[in-house]
Amino acid sequence: MSDQAQTIDDVRDVLIKAIASEAGYAPAELPTDRPFTEFGLDSMAALSVGMEIEETCGLSDLPVTLLWDHPTVDALTEALWALMQGELTATAAEGQ
């Protein structure tokens, strides 16, 4: 579920957990600066991770090539965080 009090570290933790689970790594051992493809992730895994993101970060309709455009945990974290801020801003704007 969406939690608007999330920090960027929360997002990173969510990603690490999701990707490590798909890739068969222990979360602590997952290199966050390496491309997902190095862990053998394929489009099916990407789909799962995407769904996880949708659920935990409160984002929907993510770009279909999100994981390809931001292919490491570090890069994806930044991108998601930016998206979430945009989402918040948009929600606030609608609220007015």
Partner 1 sequence: MAEETQSPAAAPAVRVPHISSQQVGLWFIHRADPGCAAYHLVFSARITEDGGLAAKAAGVLADLVREHEALRICFRPGPEGGPEQWVQDSVPLDVETHEARGLGADELNARIRADSRVPFDLGRPPLWRVRLYRTGAREWVLTVVMHHIAFDFWSLALLLTEARRRLEVTPGTAGTAGTPGAAEIDGSAFRAYAERQDAFLESPEARALLAAETARLADAPPSLDLHGDLPRPPEPSHEGGSAAFSLSAAASEAVRRLARETASTPYMALLAAYVVFLGRLSGRRDVLVGTPTSGRLQRRFRNALGNFVNTVVVRGEADEEATYRQLVAAAKERALDAMRGQEIPFPRLVKELALPRDPSRTPLYQAGFAWDRLPLSPELGQFFLLEPDLGTEVRIAGAVLRPHPLPQQEGQADLWVEMGGERDGGYVGVLRFTTDVFTAETGRELAAAFAATVETLAARPDEPVRTLPRGDAGQLARLNAWGTGPRRELPEDTLPGLLRAQARRTPQATALVADGEEWSYGRLLGAVRAVAGALRAAGVRRGDRVGVPADRGAPLVAALLGVLEAGAAYVPLDPQLPADRLGYMAEDSGARLLLTQESLRSAVPGGLPVLCLEEVLGGARGGAGGTGEGAGTAGAGEGAPWDGEPAPVTPADLAYVLYTSGSTGRPKGVAIPHGALVNLLLAMRDDTGFSADDAMLAVTTVSFDIAGLELYLPLVAGGRVLLCDSATAADGAALAARIADSGATWMQATPTSWRMLREAGWAGHPGLNVLCGGEELPRELAEFLAPRVASLRNVYGPTETTIWSTSGRVAAGRGVDIGAPIANTLLYVLDEYGRRVEPAFPGELYIGGDGLALGYWDRPELTAERFVTGLPAAPEQRLYRTGDRARWTGDGRLLHLGRLDNQVKLRGYRIELAEVEAVLQAAEGVSAAVVVVREDRLVAYVVAEPGAEPKPAELRALAARSLPPYMVPGLVVPLAELPLTANKKVDRKRLPAPKDAGLDRSAPFEKPRDATEITLARMWTELLDLPEVGVHDDFFEVGGHSLLAVRLAAAIRAEWDVDIPVATLLRHGTIAELATVVRQGGQEAARGPMVTLRRADGGRPLFLFHPFGGTVFCYVELARHLPPGRPVMAVQAPGLDAEGEAEVSVEEMAARYLGHLREVQPEGPYALGGWCFGGVIAFEAARRLREAGEEVDLLVAIDSRAPIPENIPESADDATLLSWFARDLAVPYGKELDIPADELRALGGDAAFDHILARAAAAGVLPEDADRAQVLRYFEAYLANGIALQTYLPEPADVDLLLLRAVDEPADYGPALGWDGLVKGALRIVDVPGDHNSVMYPPHAAVAAGAIAPHLPGPPGEARQAGGGAGSAPEGAGSAPEGREEPRQAPEAPEGTQRDDERR
Per CB under 8 A, residues contacting partner 1 are 35, 37-38, 40-44, 47, 50-51, 54-55, 60-62, 64-65, 68, 71
CA dist., res. 81 & res. 8, Å (int): 6
Residue among 41 and 76 whose Cβ is closer to partner 1: 41
User: Are 79 and 15 contacting, i.e. CB atoms less than 8 angstroms apart?
Assistant: no
User: Are 90 and 61 contacting, i.e. CB atoms less than 8 angstroms apart?
Assistant: no
Residue among 56 and 77 whose Cβ is closer to partner 1: 56
In the complex, minimum distance from the CB of residue 34 to partner 1, in angstroms, rounded to a whole number: 9
